[in-house]
Homo-oligomer: A and B are copies of this chain.
């Protein structure tokens, strides 16, 4: 399969499996909650995190079905974070990927609860990975990794710092620390859980975590660039929102060229860690594509 075919294959695989997880019994009174969960999960995301989980599993010698629970779990967790991030008390964003955000399409209470539900479901899904050939020990390691990456010492911690930085001017080190928590951690969980799904050893998991750490930083810096210099139509949301919210970003410090250079350097570091794996051509292409993306 070519890179493009492989990407489509993974995306369709994950979408189908997510649909299965989102098949709820009819006639339950919380139907609106289910609709809101599905609405946000099917908003046309790039599915980067699931692809990372599936491909790291493959290059660690697993079959893709081993990592399907991890792939779906990480996408649910990512979607939860977007729903709560968009809420009025957070970023107050009305649009997400070219459609009304969850609390606009439904209401605030439903969006809050849909986010809560999509934060919880991943652990149910991961606990079920033993029926996909993952050992109980490794399933439990995935539970621990996902909770760590997403919680108060990870993504949620990063979101707290992000809200406190608003209107302030944190140092560059502080900014990168926040990016690590807010963006790298979930990518790390995706890559790390992919390895664990295949039963890989600690060295492989460690290299995957280092890779995804750099990938996340590069990803966030490219986001910063696109928020100023991107194309609104391609992005599906208005540009300039960081500036409007007085947010200091990497571009504020380093300018466009400095930011591009840093993203390139981080991508190179990511590729170095990738080189420690066999058969990592697909991930290499993906990494470079993420650096050069326009949305």
Contact = CB atoms under 8 A, between A and B. Distances in A.
Interface in A218-248: none
A33 B154 CA distance: 12
Contacts of A33: 152, 156-157, 160
One complex includes copies of this chain to the number of 2
A174 B29 CA distance: 9
A121 B150 CA distance: 9
A39 interface: no
B124 A144 contact: yes
A156 B120 contact: yes
B127 A147 contact: yes
A163 B109 contact: yes
A109 B89 contact: yes
A127 B134 CA distance: 16
Chain A residues touching B, range: 35 or more
B29 A151 contact: no
Given A30-B157, A90-B109, A84 B116 contact: yes
Interface stretch (A12-20, A135-143, A257-265, A283-291): A135-143
A26 to B, nearest CB: 14
Contacts of A124: 143-144, 147-148, 151
Contact of A28 (B87, B140, B157, B163): B157
A89 B116 contact: no
Interface string A92-124: 000000000000000111101101110111011
Contacts of A161: 29-30
Interface in A31-71: 32-34, 37
Interface string A151-184: 1100011111101100000000010011001000
Contacts of A115: 116
Contacts of A28: 157
Tell me which of A30, A110, A164 has the highest count of chain B C-beta atoms within 10 A of its own C-beta: A30
A140 B127 contact: yes
Contact of A144 (B29, B127, B144): B127
A294 interface: no
Nearest to A128: B144
Nearest to A81: B116
Contacts of A34: 152
B120 A150 contact: yes
Contacts of A137: 136
Contacts of A147: 120-121, 123-124, 127
B157 A121 contact: no
A252 interface: no
Contact of A160 (B32, B151, B181): B32
A108 B163 CA distance: 11
